[in-house]
Amino acid sequence: MAVSVVRVRHLVRKELKQLLRDPRSRPILFVLPLVQLVLFGYAVNTDVRHIRTAALDHDGTSASRELLEAFAASGYFDIVERPQRPSDIVRSLDRGRVMLGIEIPVGFARDLDAGRGVSIQLLVDGSDSNTATVAGGYALGVVTAFTIQRSGEAGAASRGLVLDARAWFNPSFESRMYNVPAVIGALLMLICLLLTSFSVVREREIGTLDQLRVSPITSTELILGKTIPVMWVGVLDLALITVIATTWFSVPLRGSLVVLAAGGFLFILCGLSIGLLISTVSRTQQEAFLTMYMVFLPALIFSGFFFPIESMPSIFQWISYANPMRYFLEIVRALFLKGAGLAELYPQFAVLAAMAVTGIGLAIRRFERSVA
């Protein structure tokens, strides 16, 4: 079927005018992405720092004080309480005033100097399992470093096996490096859904859809006219978010900008075809809103945005294969941090491209059927 460029251009112009005039949609275009990016950039922070700690030092020697200072100096632990009895530590943990309790026994310095084995007690609030695990790990690191340093001072050769781990791509484990690129994916999806989910159903409700349908415009032209403006907005937002991510949040963009733009373009197409599908199957705007919500939330959860897909039950892992956001997040994370290119990312690109083409095709077919 021949597509009339003139008719599509008229529709695009009309859609853009409406997007920019509507006081409800205007903030979605550029303000929402900025606010969300800043919110996510700061709030979605899984870094564990400044763990509130209670320290009970029964020994009271220079060695025990040194160990506690080592804890404080690491930056991971803030010693906020100095209780007198072990039961006080338990009470502070119960009340949530501290996350961690350290108890150093009497004779700590003596046994250490004598080269005898000595243990200190660590009590961790396990109710926040993620933080507890990380805190335990950091505590172990502090203790290991302390031991090595002491044995070095004592002139003794370091005994046993020492693990020397180095993290590539994100050496200081900053969660922001991992999260900010992912926010790009979540935001693009949200914007595409918000701008397209209502676009057809709103016209159906106010009656302008019939007015368009009695005109010579075809379904393909109509869907194109609805798609192109949102695509432009999406691409502009992608650029805006990328600039903020690399400047304000200093997330390095190690990969190619062209590859990012290409991936973003495909992902935007996926997002807006999902939105258009929602809009063509919904009879009312409320219905469209609910459906959009039911689509966006799982898309976010099964994308690896918050939780790693690898640790999900296998059925959910299978579901995530149908989620375009999963592939886009893989692309942006690899692109920003690892500097990956098409050579590594072509599978994800292939899937996104297939999804985009299928999605737009389905939206047009579905639209034709919904109005027949």
Partner 1 sequence: MTEAVRVSGLTKRFGDFTAVDRVSFAVSEGEIFGFLGPNGAGKTTTIKMLTGLLEPTAGSATVAGLDVRRHRAAIKSRIGYMSQLFSLYLDLTVEENIELFAGLYGVRGARLTKRREWVLEMAALGRQRKQLTAELPLGWKQRLALGCAVLHEPPILFLDEPTSGVDPVARREFWDLIGRLSEEGTTVFVSTHYMEEAEYCHRLALMHGGRIIAMDSPGALKASMEEPLFEIATDDAARAVEALRVSQGILEASMYGREVHAVVADEKWGREHLPVLLTRAGLECRSLRSIAPSLEDVFVSRVRRAGAQE
Residues in Cβ contact with 104 at an 8 Å cutoff, skipping those fewer than 6 apart: 55, 56, 57, 58, 59, 64, 67, 68, 120
Nearest distance from C-beta of residue 223 to partner 1, angstroms:
15
Nearest distance from C-beta of residue 207 to partner 1, angstroms:
3
Binding window for partner 1 (CB under 8 A); candidates: 66-74, 104-112, 204-212, 311-319: 204-212
- Contact between 259 and partner 1 per CB under 8 A: no
- Contact between 208 and partner 1 per CB under 8 A: yes
Asked whether the beta carbons of 324 and 268 are under 8 A apart, the reply is no
- Contact between 6 and partner 1 per CB under 8 A: yes
Asked whether the beta carbons of 191 and 233 are under 8 A apart, the reply is yes
Count other C-beta atoms under 10 Å from residue 282's C-beta: 23
**Could you say which of 2, 21, 168, 310 contacts partner 1 (CB under 8 A)?**
21
| Closer Cβ to partner 1, 20 or 243, answer by number | 20
- Contact between 113 and partner 1 per CB under 8 A: no
**Could you say which of 72, 217, 281, 312 contacts partner 1 (CB under 8 A)?**
217
- Contact between 16 and partner 1 per CB under 8 A: no
| Closer Cβ to partner 1, 4 or 285, answer by number | 4
- Contact between 128 and partner 1 per CB under 8 A: no
**Could you say which of 65, 91, 150, 213 contacts partner 1 (CB under 8 A)?**
213
- Contact between 206 and partner 1 per CB under 8 A: yes
| Closer Cβ to partner 1, 17 or 283, answer by number | 17
**Could you say which of 117, 155, 160, 207 contacts partner 1 (CB under 8 A)?**
207
- Contact between 121 and partner 1 per CB under 8 A: no
Tokens (6 digits) for 296: 């966006």
DSSP string, 98-151: -SEEEEEPTTHHHHHHTT-----EEEE-TTSHHHHHHHHHHHHHHHHHHHHHHH
Q: How many residues are recorded in the chain? A: 372
- Contact between 211 and partner 1 per CB under 8 A: yes
| Closer Cβ to partner 1, 92 or 196, answer by number | 196
Asked whether the beta carbons of 296 and 193 are under 8 A apart, the reply is yes
- Contact between 202 and partner 1 per CB under 8 A: no
| Closer Cβ to partner 1, 122 or 209, answer by number | 209
Tokens (6 digits) for 35: 């606010």
Q: Cα–Cα distance between 10 and 177 in angstroms, integer?
A: 42
* Cα Rg, the chain, nearest whole Å: 28
Asked whether the beta carbons of 334 and 345 are under 8 A apart, the reply is yes
Residues in Cβ contact with 285 at an 8 Å cutoff, skipping those fewer than 6 apart: 198, 201, 202, 205
Asked whether the beta carbons of 184 and 241 are under 8 A apart, the reply is yes
Nearest distance from C-beta of residue 365 to partner 1, angstroms:
17
Phi then psi dihedrals of residue 223, to 5 deg: -65, -40
Q: How many residues bind partner 1 (CB under 8 A)?
A: 26
- Contact between 372 and partner 1 per CB under 8 A: yes
Which residues contribute to the site for partner 1 (CB under 8 A)?
4, 6-7, 9-11, 13-14, 17-18, 21-22, 206-208, 210-218, 371-372
